[in-house]
């Protein structure tokens, strides 16, 4: 067992992928000599060279466009978007080319491109550095969208993403980069498209992904003092969605709360609530409730503690569910 932070676990996963396949490339702004602003790629350029760990210009559209060309030539590019809010200049390449080219070619062309995006708030950053853009990409057919929440999953999920022949948006919870866990580097991980029940419970189901998984686990521990037994599910994959795990849990508990940092209005939680209601309608004791950010642009850092969903807002939704 090795103790690693989430950022270091990603680094080790990328290192293992590059050792296993010489066609794996890492590219992005400051990923080489600096090792990335969060040091996720630290030491990779030194060990694998500038031809495989490439410091790119500050041009997100160019990064993704170049990665598409490299993938067509047989490489497996792993692109880092330095911060979540920087991905929008690359949206044209991601949505109109990366997501569509495999179908456009009737499956004859593969685009094994991983787009890594640190997402979410909680680090006291300035504007454009604390976004949660996952719903834009889950709505884009042709993309896989995943989000790790802990070091163990980060290590295995990044390797699975690199091996996958489909284009993948890989969200990393930046405020959890420094969380630590013991990792068995030889142990296989859960399949990339499967959800994980991280806490068993019988009274209500909490569903989260990325940075909110830890918050929901803390809420479940606090609720236990009041005699409530809460189940917590880490989605891990947003598209495709492991609906069967969600259905089994909510059918059994009869209540559900969905939590994410993104604004509630038309956030990914709306899709989850609709799917669960369709699947579990006759088992529900209350409506599926959603917890998320407010319908405002992400605020200045001194206000983000009020904006981000916390333990109290999750528990408030739990109380509202039991009030029905």
- By annotation, the residues acting in catalysis are 129
- CA–CA gap between residue 173 and residue 194 (Å, rounded): 18
Strand partners, 181: 4
Six-digit token pair at 121?
Answer: 């708030």
Count of beta carbons in the 10 Å neighbourhood of residue 186: 5
Task: Find all residues with CB under 8 Å of 93, minimum gap 6, and list them.
Answer: 61, 64, 65, 68
Helix (H, G, I), strand (E, B) or coil at 169: strand
Q: Where are the beta strands (DSSP E) in the chain?
A: 2-5, 24-28, 53-55, 76-80, 114-119, 144-147, 168-173, 180-183, 196-199, 204-208, 230-234, 237-239, 256-263, 289-293
Helix (H, G, I), strand (E, B) or coil at 118: strand
- CA–CA gap between residue 233 and residue 292 (Å, rounded): 16
Please report which helix (H) or strand (E) contains residue 163, including its range: helix 151-163
- CA–CA gap between residue 293 and residue 192 (Å, rounded): 27
Q: Where are the alpha helices (DSSP H) in 41-115?
A: 44-48, 60-72, 91-92, 101-104
Six-digit token pair at 102?
Answer: 């495999």
Three-point CA angle 267, 268, 271, nearest 5°: 110
């Amino acid at each position: 067992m090795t103790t690693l932070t989430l950022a270091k676990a990603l680094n080790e996963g990328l290192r293992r992928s590059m050792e296993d396949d010489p066609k794996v490339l890492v590219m992005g702004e400051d990923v080489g000599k600096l090792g990335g602003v969060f040091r996720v790629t630290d030491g990779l350029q030194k060990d694998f060279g500038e031809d495989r760990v490439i410091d790119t210009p500050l041009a997100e559209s160019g990064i993704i466009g170049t990665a598409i060309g490299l993938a067509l030539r047989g490489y497996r590019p792993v692109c880092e978007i330095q911060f979540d809010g920087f991905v929008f200049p690359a949206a044209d390449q991601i949505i109109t080319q990366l997501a569509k080219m495999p179908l456009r070619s009737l499956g004859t062309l593969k685009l094994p491109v991983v787009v890594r995006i640190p997402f979410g708030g909680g680090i006291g950053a300035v504007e454009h550095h604390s976004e949660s853009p996952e719903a834009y990409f889950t709505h884009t057919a042709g993309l896989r969208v995943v989000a790790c929440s802990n070091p163990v999953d980060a290590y295995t999920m990044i390797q699975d993403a690199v091996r996958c022949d489909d284009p993948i948006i890989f969200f990393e919870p930046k405020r959890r980069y420094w969380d630590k866990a013991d990792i068995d580097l030889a142990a296989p991980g859960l399949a990339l498209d499967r959800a994980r029940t991280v806490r068993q419970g019988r009274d209500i189901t909490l569903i989260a992904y990325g940075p909110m998984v830890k918050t929901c686990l803390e809420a479940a521990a606090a609720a236990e003092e009041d005699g409530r037994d809460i189940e917590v599910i880490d989605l891990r994959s947003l598209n495709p969605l492991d609906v069967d795990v969600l259905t089994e849990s909510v059918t059994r508990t009869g209540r559900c709360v969905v939590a994410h940092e993104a604004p509630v209005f038309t956030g990914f939680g709306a899709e989850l609530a609709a799917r669960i209601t369709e699947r579990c309608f006759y088992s529900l004791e209350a409506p599926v409730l959603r917890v998320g950010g407010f319908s405002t642009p992400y605020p200045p850092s001194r206000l983000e503690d009020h904006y981000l969903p916390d333990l109290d807002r999750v528990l408030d939704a739990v109380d509202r569910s039991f009030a029905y």
